[in-house]
Structure 1
Amino acid sequence: MLTDSIKLNHSPFRAAIIDLDGTMVDTLGDFVVALHHTLLDMGCHAIEVARVDRAFVEMTVGKGTEDLLRRTLAHAWGLPDDDGDVLASVPQAWQHYQHHYTRINGQHADVYPGVAEGLIRLRATGVQLACLTNKPTAFAEQLLTLKGLRGHFAHVFGGDAFARKKPDPLPLLKTCEALGTPPASTLMVGDSSNDAQAAAAAGCGVVLVTYGYNHGHPINEVPALAYIDRLDAPDWSSWFAA
């Protein structure tokens, strides 16, 4: 599916910001494995660990590691995610998670079909690309390098790069500054309402992929310039200024 008639009414873009998890790489397997090891290190029983399955992670991921860990602990323990015991345990869980995620990053993840080709076509338009994700920067750099995608990007910014994360517009505004393009001339490509909300608030256009992690909601309910099944589906040359 490609809905891109709206773009004809938009001025050509001069740069693009691409999300990572759910947009370029399917990382659910990495999250599940790292979270399971983290829960075991936290003393959780097997039945608690089993609650954190792929379906839960798909609904939960996308708002930063601290949010993911808080909600994971709450789900495993059967507590509200603002429970005092949960909140107090997040720093300890983060230490375990960081160790395990660094160790397995990319081992249970796959680049989505069409991503490498799409990035090549985007770069062929002559525009600069930046990767902007809520994943910690070191994890993002490690994953992009492992999957052979790092060379496409002039900049990589993670959820710890700025004071706030998506869906706050600050990360997009700062990334536009790094790219040297105004928000109105910068296109965001993502997979969720987080990306769309951040782009709208920053003044960027947004294109959404149909296969990512949108917290269990249909992606076509989120306003966007286009919805694409593959990153290599659009004629990107018509989207960007020469």
Structure 2
Amino acid sequence: MLRGVLLDLDNTLVDQRAATAEALHRWLPSLGVPCTPELLVLWDEVAERHFKAWRERRVTFREQRRGRLREFLPRVRIPYAEGELDAIFADYLIAYESSWRAFPDVDQALAAIAAAGLRTAVLTNGSTEQQHQKLARTGLTGRLGPVFTVEDVGTSKPDPAAFLSACARWGLPPASVLSVGDRHDLDVLPARRAGLLAVHLDRHDGGPHDEPHRIRSLAELPLDW
């Protein structure tokens, strides 16, 4: 019997994709660079590489930010000194944090989960400090159960151990937990390998389209397992 819903955070509860685009549209012109679709893609590619290094504990959280800029700034022909990297990233961060918004379907979904008598928790690959800030700024603090981060569970998605650790800390058997997230490779497949139920939240219809438990909105979240 289903007892809990384990939610991803970025691009599931909070529109991280839109926040990044909005931040870049504000930040890059301040550096004298027009924001283009190509630069949005480049930033995402660079960020993912360096964020992955942090998730794997190869660099610190601050160093992955510096690493992003060391790779990105030369690509857009912005000169910098090594000692300026933290200040440059801080300017981006101001724009990024002010752009955090919860998706409009979150309220309805949380109400439906509560009405079904189910518990909620969050499992995120982000840092503890930043993800709690994100929840606070978007008005979600206190509306969800425990928040499990990479720093809490000791590993990151797609390692099935991340899901098992979250369930153990939550006090629920994996078979009674439904994982919900936007990444099929991070939130669905490894959750199932860990013994959880799983639903793919495919907001942008990116597939895979043969996934039997695929929804386009949290309003479609199935709770009758």
Normalising by structure 1, report the TM-score.
0.67
- In structure 1, the residue matched to 2:79 is none
Query: Relative to 1, partners in 2 of residues 1:76 and 1:63: Cα closer, same or farther, differing over 3 Å?
Result: closer
| Structure 2 stretches lacking a partner, 5+ long | 54-63, 76-81
1:187 equivalenced with 2:211 (yes/no): no
Q: How many residues align?
A: 208
Q: Does structure 2 conserve the Cα–Cα contact (< 8 Å) formed by 1:131 and 1:157?
A: yes
RMSD (Å), alpha carbons:
3.8
- In structure 2, the residue matched to 1:169 is 160
Please list, as runs of the form range in 1=range in 2, the aligned pairs for 1:1-242 lying within 5 A after superposition: 12-32=1-21, 46=32, 53-57=39-43, 65=51, 67=53, 69=65, 70=67, 73-78=70-75, 97=89, 101=93, 103-104=94-95, 106-192=97-183, 193-211=185-203, 218-221=206-209, 223=211, 225-236=212-223, 238-239=224-225
CA deviation after TM superposition for structure 1 residue 156, in Å: 0.9
Mean CA deviation greater in 50-59 or 186-195: 50-59
Q: Specify the code of the residue in structure 1 equivalent to 2:9.
A: L
CA deviation after TM superposition for structure 1 residue 191, in Å: 0.3
| Structure 1 stretches lacking a partner, 5+ long | 1-11, 79-88
Query: Relative to 1, partners in 2 of residues 1:99 and 1:182: Cα closer, same or farther, differing over 3 Å?
Result: farther
Q: Specify the code of the residue in structure 1 equivalent to 2:195.
A: G
CA distance in 1, matches of 2:147, 2:49: 17
Residue deviations 1:113-148 (CA, integer Å, cap 9, x gap): 311110111122222111111121211111112222
Residue deviations 1:156-210 (CA, integer Å, cap 9, x gap): 1223323221111222111101221111221100001211233133221110111
CA distance in 2, matches of 1:24, 1:184: 23
Mean CA deviation greater in 174-183 or 30-39: 30-39
Query: Relative to 1, partners in 2 of residues 1:220 and 1:107: Cα closer, same or farther, differing over 3 Å?
Result: same
Identity %: 25
Q: Does structure 2 conserve the Cα–Cα contact (< 8 Å) formed by 1:144 and 1:150?
A: yes
Query: Relative to 1, partners in 2 of residues 1:64 and 1:26: Cα closer, same or farther, differing over 3 Å?
Result: farther
- What SS does the aligned partner of 1:175 have? helix
Residue deviations 1:21-72 (CA, integer Å, cap 9, x gap): 11111122433566799999xxxx7559868733445567678835575566
Q: Does structure 1 conserve the Cα–Cα contact (< 8 Å) formed by 2:160 and 2:191?
A: yes
Q: Specify the code of the residue in structure 1 equivalent to 2:3.
A: R
CA distance in 2, matches of 1:174, 1:36: 38
Q: Specify the code of the residue in structure 2 equivalent to 1:230.
A: S
Q: Specify the code of the residue in structure 2 equivalent to 1:130.
A: A
